[in-house]
A and B are shown apart, each in its own frame.
Chain A
Amino acid sequence: MEAVRFENVKYSYRGDEAFAVNGVSLSIEEGQFVAVLGRNGSGKSTLAKLINALLEPTSGRVTVFGMDTLDAKKTFEIRKSAGMVFQNPDNQTVASVVEDDIAFGPENIGVPREEIGRRIEFALDAVGMQAFRKATPSRLSGGQKQRVAIAGVLAILPRILILDESTAMLDPKGRREVMEVVKKLNREQKMTVLLITHFMDEALEAERAVVMHRGEVVMDGAPEEIFARSDELESYNLTLPRAAAVCKRLQREGMPVGNAFTAEELAEVLCASLQRG
């Protein structure tokens, strides 16, 4: 089933400015894990906010499971199906106790009390934060705060999870924690994931990568495929993962090595060509 559909969507923040999103057409299938890459200001966050009706397209159409985001009567249904986690881990919690914060979403949509309890249980399990049920968010680490934010979204039982640069402000450990949770949700709950990021290595975890540049989708395909087109990628001011950059350099010098994107893969291909024969 098609989860999200953009039909020639344009959006500008103020009527007179350049389009932040400029003629995007895109279709995302349910269960897909899509990474959206691009420099700061390339329009990737605007794209995310158009999905759950936080922004309405200036022209074109955005639909979520067939529901048009311009249809005011569907706004809540859309937000229930497409949950969104934001960048700053400090600006998303409303309560001073983790479980109260997770309850916020379900309370808003009128879920009965006993059911809210079950959903908190489920959401805390999904992000591995059971031990912090009674903790104060402001005393948690960045990665833990973002996991609480994800739990808060999961409690409204969305089918799409949008992460709008949710790892940008985290340390490597926090990023790993969040990525683990997201991967697990995609794998086990068949959650559709839209990961907006400028960390190239995170895009490798996705099955599909979309590159945005000046409000347009300029590349779309499997991450390995995108990284193989390195010159094109560099023309959009994006850098290759380091392992891929090493490979590219070796290939240019005429050394026969395959492509690699992580340290492990690089060691693998180097071994293969250095120990051959």
Chain B
Amino acid sequence: MRIVAKGLTYTYDPKSPFAAQALKGVDLTIEEGEFFGIIGHTGSGKSTFVQHLNALIRLTGGALKVGDYDLSDKKCRFIELRGKVGMVFQYPEYQLFAETVEKDVAFGLKNFRKGMREEEISAAVQEALETVGLNYAAVKDASPFELSGGQKRRVAIAGVIVTRPEVLILDEPAAGLDPLGKQELMQLLHSIHGSWCKTVIIVSHDMDEIAENCTRAAVFSEGRIAMEGTPAEIFRRADELLALGLDVPTTAKCAMLLRGRGIDIDTDFTCEDFAEKVLALWRAKEGGDA
């Protein structure tokens, strides 16, 4: 599903002394199949934007189309849309509620696919749990509250992907995890992106995460889009990002500093790719010397 937003505006608590305009005209297109990154400070409007995509926040200004769903149309089938645009909130483990893992994961399925047979449900739950890297037989009857933090988060993600949404949105999916946990989670998202969900959108503060994983990204700032493009295009403008008070991936920052000192090296993101570029430069120089 292609997502097209035009001139999106939104104000919280309008007409009260606390009125706050969160979106001031956002134009953004996200193509089907992208692994899209959304960057921005807390309060930049990024969360408000993504909550428009599955109509958790109703459109009040501008136009928004998600696939064939026109969200400005009052007759739009919002519930159906939510089955196609899955959303994993920040710290999703805090939304677990059922007495067993199996029941919790099945919750969305029972809501969206009324009348599904029990065998079909457990088959789908099993597949979802195994996709997030959990042993179905071992965890299905456990209480979700007994699991470790990392396992809880995986159960929560399984509870969203179980309906096979076409678009999967995750708000800070790796927040609070340790470095290895973060790596494992990003690997999981890539495997979901390849198989379960056509489009994956992550909202993140972690620039390294965006740089290493996304095909394209947008930078939100004060309710508008400040930059949009591939990570290479965005992080080449490292100085602008720093001026917005945002971070820059380690390798991009290093590349920026090297360019400033006359070493021509392109911005690249994974440690491996960047090291390769440096090695190429070094070998060229050594070869030239010899």
Contact = CB atoms under 8 A, between A and B. Distances in A.
Interface of A: 39-41, 141-142, 168-169, 171-174, 198, 200, 237-239, 241-243, 245-246, 249-250, 253, 255, 262-264, 266-267, 270-271, 273-275, 277
Nearest to B91: A169
Nearest to B178: A198
A173 B245 contact: yes
B60 interface: no
Contacts, number: 101
Interface residues of B, number: 42
Interface in B239-257: 245-251, 253-254, 257
Interface string B171-190: 00001111111010000000
A277 B289 contact: yes
A152 B246 CA distance: 28
A246 B278 contact: yes
Contacts of B181: 39-40
B72 interface: no
B282 A255 contact: yes
Contacts of B248: 263
Interface string B248-281: 1111011001100111000000011011001101
A271 B261 contact: yes
B33 interface: no
A115 to B, nearest CB: 36
Given A40-B149, A263-B250, A274-B282, A239 B263 contact: no
A96 to B, nearest CB: 16
Given A245-B271, A267-B261, A40 B279 contact: no
B74 interface: no
A172 B195 CA distance: 32
Q: Pick the 5 closest A-B CB pairs, nearest first.
A: A267-B257, A263-B253, A198-B178, A242-B250, A239-B179
